[in-house]
Amino acid sequence: MSRNTWKGIGGADSCFNLKGGGFVNLDLYKRACEHPGVKHFLIPGEGTFHQYHGGVTTGGVDKTVREALMNEMKSQYMAIRNKPYSPPSTDPVYIGKIPQEAMVFVEASAKKKLETMKH
């Protein structure tokens, strides 16, 4: 992102202070994508940027511990933003082909979106 966008969104929010940073990465990405004048580009099958978190949610953590931490992270997001987390509400521009390995995720996302459109 440009320096102007970084300044415009206020950078990463230090209020996200849970183990591993909580939803700091998701929050930063959402605010950047939704910032006025920003065009959201996606390369299918590629990530955006990685949050160093020391494996707090992915490093072989017990399922119960992970769920408790995720609930704490969701609660903190709600306390900071006064609403539950949701992905960026943008109309991204896709660049490139969708890798075969990513198709299962595309299918799951499409099903989820279609289900919300029924209501």
Distance CA 96, CA 42 (A): 9
Looking at residue 88, its pLDDT comes to 93
pTM of the model: 0.78
Side chain identity, residue 21? G
Q: Could you tell me the CA-to-CA distances from 43 to 24, 48, 67, 92 in Å, in that order? A: 22, 9, 30, 10
Distance CA 12, CA 31 (A): 10
Tokens of 42: 């996606």
| Domain limits, the chain | 3-118
Cβ atoms 45, 98 nearer than 8 A = yes
Looking at residue 110, its pLDDT comes to 87
Distance CA 91, CA 99 (A): 20
53-87, pLDDT tens digit by residue?
A: 666 666 667 888 888 989 999 999 999 999 999 99
1-51, pLDDT tens digit by residue?
A: 899 999 999 999 999 999 888 999 999 999 999 999 999 998 877 776 666
Distance CA 119, CA 117 (A): 5
Nearest to 23 by CA among 77, 59, 71, 63: 77
